[in-house]
Structure 1
Amino acid sequence: MKNFILYLTFLLTSILSPELSAQYQHVKNIDWNIAATIPPAPGQTTAKGLAGAISDVDHHILLIAGGTNFPNEMPWNGGKKKYYDDVFLYQKTNSGLLLISTEKNLKLPFNLAYSAVCSTPYGIVAAGGENENGLSKKVLLLSPKANEMEINFLPDLPTGLTNGALTILGDVIYLAGGEVESGATDQFLSLDLKKRQEGWKRMINLPQAVSHTVLLHSENSREIFLVGGRKRNPGDTSTLYKNVFAFNLEEQTWRAKASLPYTLSAASGITIGKDLFVFSGDLGETFHQAEKLIAAIDKEQDSIKKEQLSQQKIKLQSNHPGFSKSVLKYSFEKNTWSTLKGSMPYGTVTTNAVRLENEIIIAGGEIKAGVRTPNILLGKLKSNK
């Protein structure tokens, strides 16, 4: 009976979604609150939060799975990053989000974080990612139902990849960028979910090698937008982008669009009506300072000076100011960027933004260098029409 009710809820939402999209195609502001928290990992008494977790909505159920944190010490104090395979399922209620997977110990097939994620008619896809054993080329298809989850595998990626970006148009999913063993890549791949046996196909390369980017499609479904991101440069500071490109599916070409107001990486994004929204992100100032100190430490031969530089890095990272709290809006019609008046309660990166009816959900993420949050943000859309 419970499964039937959930299915009926999903069916009604599907019928009403075009009306909701029209109603909220002119978003003026977003009212944020903390709707729930991610529980502690098994064996832990305090919720440390998660970065790089798989998070999306399927059949009206919010799934949060995998991810990483530093359960003991921060990395600059010798703390080791821990990867997880835990799965949490939530259902939307009038008072927020209700954890519904408490009856069963749900798990991924292996520890996993920083996958490229998107929701499809067949379930939630998580492509690539990483764990303590290195980069993954596996592609999971996750289908949550009530307090259970079905797990299937899609064709492997050509190579292991982490911090890529994924979106879907029709029955085809598109994967952009990410990091392979040699660094950021400019590869652009597609997989037809109705022709899975054909595997991943290489598309025309991205205009630039990039990881930690946002990949979204336009309302008319003729263009795929690549927004910001970064590229690690060996022996130098990373390149952070404010570039925005659109891939035209009919012409099979990339074209430059209006750039972001500033460089931005590790943000999350979503399309609502005729606008594209980008939440939070790393502007790179502290990130670059830390990279410069790390490079100086590696080059320094004098032990005293090396320790002084290490202490500077520890002070810089432990006093991280946090990430952008802004929400940027791009108009497909005007090819312009603007900033919503209201800001987020806090900035959070390496997480996903997902839509559930007229609300945005952003689960966990990194809020300062090495620091995760267990909070699940829920943003209610405010329309000016």
Structure 2
Amino acid sequence: MTTTRSRVSTSPTLRAFGTKSATWRVCSNAPCVPGLALATLMMVLPARGAAGQESDSGGLGEAALPSATSSLDEAEHSQTSTLSWQRSGDLPRPLAGHAVGFSHGVLIVAGGTDFPTPLFEGGSKVWFDSVYALEPAATEWRARHRLPHPLAYAATATMGNRMLVVGGSDQARHYADAFTLEWIGGKITQRALPPFPSPIAMAGAAVIGQTLFVVGGQRQPDDTEALASGWALDLSSPAPAWRALPPVPGPGRILPVVTAQQGRLHVISGAALRRAPSGKATRRYLSDAYSWTPDEGWQRLADVPRPVVAAPAAPFGQSHILVFGGDDGTHASRVEELKDRHPGFSRDVLAYHTITDTWTTFGTMRAVW
């Protein structure tokens, strides 16, 4: 087992996944203790030689470790601890765009995509319907369920012991289906939620209390404009129904960072879409950030230092949000040129302080190939 540590403020366990078979978890109490999950993260570092956009990458990096070179702002005002990353059981196959959640101490990975034959060798993307589970103290993932159809790029969040999944896509279409996955009696149980108002993929999701929020995304695979919409589903209601929020300021966006901290919804970065002369969509990488509450509406926040498209993120402590890696678009136009020499996504770990409205670089992940 490999472990590195950085000083941070005390908080329960964070769980994180790489792909290309390797899996890691990050904890603020060493060693990692099953059942103390604060949030579930999907690491989105591209595999060596992968394309420069998450939705076209054909594989993600094996894993990442934060360096021990920096600490969070002392304004956290809480007892400090250590952040440690530990190697967990390897995933059965490389995956990108999969849904990740946590239920009754069990880690769940659902759906996803891969290029079994590499993209630059003429391979095509394949979507999967498999659902894997890693039980507490286990070192091997088990296939425990199958989705009704292959699925990737869904909006996903965890509420209590339920993994919530909204929308997503397969090789032909986007979906409006919404459902929960929960580990019950030694198996994964899938239950329907009210369908989303329209098909959607590449949106972001977060939970505040008993309400699920979904922001941004794209209705159809060939759309050349992203959505600025926000929606809420109150699952404490006897008859839950989706209700529209005021749209997010700024351009519509796919693959935004969406998370919650202290009752505020945060939307960070993402990619706007525009029509190219060819008629296809191209991406414009965004650095703006916003928060929302019912009383205050949308508030502009300090820009993130660089775009962090498709980055995993989680609240940390009482006043921080950690953002891991993400695509800044630096090499997006050079995918065909670079091919297997593509250096991959940024490995910075950024920390946003919700009180001071400031960003800092918390550390650097290193990919393991």
Fold match, TM over 0.5?
Answer: yes
Give 1:27 shift.
6.6
| Residues 180-191 of structure 1: pairs in structure 2 closer than 5 A | 180-181=219-220, 182=223, 183-191=225-233
> Is residue 359 of structure 2 the alignment partner of residue 337 of structure 1?
yes
CA pair 229-29 structure 1, distance change in 2 beyond 3 A: farther
Q: Which residue, 65, 72, 77 being the options, matches 2:121?
A: 77
Q: Distance in 2 between matches of 1:172 and 1:332?
A: 21
- Deviation string 1:361-383 (CA, Å, 9 cap, x unpaired) is xxxxxxxxxxxx9xxxxxxxxxx
Give 1:54 shift.
1.0
Contact 2:307 2:326 in 1 (8 A): no
CA pair 249-209 structure 1, distance change in 2 beyond 3 A: same
Q: Which residue, 12, 32, 56 being the options, matches 2:85?
A: 32
Where do 5+ consecutive residues of structure 2 fail to align?
A: 1-33, 39-75
Q: Which piece of structure 1 moves more, 176-185 or 150-159? A: 176-185
SS of residue in 2 equivalent to 1:158: coil
Contact 2:175 2:199 in 1 (8 A): yes
Q: Which residue, 229, 239, 244 being the options, matches 2:289?
A: 244
CA pair 255-108 structure 1, distance change in 2 beyond 3 A: same
2:214 maps to which residue? 175
Q: Distance in 2 between matches of 1:263 and 1:117?
A: 21
CA pair 33-345 structure 1, distance change in 2 beyond 3 A: farther
Q: Distance in 2 between matches of 1:119 and 1:154?
A: 14
Q: Distance in 2 between matches of 1:53 and 1:228?
A: 20
Q: Which residue, 79, 90, 97 being the options, matches 1:52?
A: 97
1:297 maps to which residue? none
Give 1:28 shift.
7.6
Give the alignment's TM-score, normalised by structure 2.
0.73
Q: Which residue, 139, 143, 153 being the options, matches 2:192?
A: 153
Q: CA RMSD in A?
A: 2.5
Counterpart code for 2:102 = V
- Choose between structure 1 and 2 for higher RCO, CA contacts under 8 A separated by at least 6 residues: 1
Give 1:196 shift.
6.2
Give 1:272 shift.
1.1
| Residues 203-222 of structure 1: pairs in structure 2 closer than 5 A | 203-207=245-249, 208-219=251-262, 221=263
Contact 1:100 1:146 in 2 (8 A): no
Counterpart code for 2:88 = A
> Is residue 275 of structure 2 the alignment partner of residue 234 of structure 1?
yes
- Deviation string 1:100-143 (CA, Å, 9 cap, x unpaired) is 636xx521121110111001136110100001231011001111
Contact 2:110 2:129 in 1 (8 A): yes
1:197 maps to which residue? 239
1:255 maps to which residue? 299
| Residues 107-122 of structure 1: pairs in structure 2 closer than 5 A | 107-121=146-160
- Deviation string 1:328-347 (CA, Å, 9 cap, x unpaired) is 00111211101113x21229
Counterpart code for 1:194 = S
CA pair 212-100 structure 1, distance change in 2 beyond 3 A: closer
Q: Distance in 1 between matches of 2:200 and 2:160?
A: 24
Contact 1:89 1:147 in 2 (8 A): no
2:63 maps to which residue? none
SS of residue in 1 equivalent to 2:331: helix
- Deviation string 1:203-234 (CA, Å, 9 cap, x unpaired) is 10111301111111122x1x211011101211
Contact 2:268 2:288 in 1 (8 A): yes
Q: Distance in 2 between matches of 1:198 and 1:225?
A: 23
1:285 maps to which residue? 330
Q: Distance in 2 between matches of 1:126 and 1:24?
A: 35
Say which one has the larger Rg.
1
Structure 1 segments, 4+ long, off by >6 Å, are: 26-29
CA pair 226-264 structure 1, distance change in 2 beyond 3 A: same
1:367 maps to which residue? none
CA pair 332-108 structure 1, distance change in 2 beyond 3 A: same
Q: Distance in 2 between matches of 1:272 and 1:198?
A: 29
SS of residue in 2 equivalent to 1:322: coil
Q: Distance in 1 between matches of 2:246 and 2:90?
A: 41
CA pair 191-266 structure 1, distance change in 2 beyond 3 A: same
Give the alignment's TM-score, normalised by structure 1.
0.70
SS of residue in 1 equivalent to 2:288: strand
Q: Distance in 2 between matches of 1:187 and 1:329?
A: 26
Contact 2:90 2:140 in 1 (8 A): no
CA pair 238-27 structure 1, distance change in 2 beyond 3 A: farther
Give 1:24 shift.
11
Q: Distance in 2 between matches of 1:26 and 1:158?
A: 44
Where do 5+ consecutive residues of structure 1 fail to align?
A: 1-11, 18-22, 40-46, 291-312, 348-372, 374-385
Contact 1:53 1:66 in 2 (8 A): yes
CA pair 59-25 structure 1, distance change in 2 beyond 3 A: farther
Q: Distance in 2 between matches of 1:26 and 1:138?
A: 43
Counterpart code for 1:234 = R
- Deviation string 1:8-35 (CA, Å, 9 cap, x unpaired) is xxxx957x98xxxxx9967786433432
Aligned pair count?
A: 290
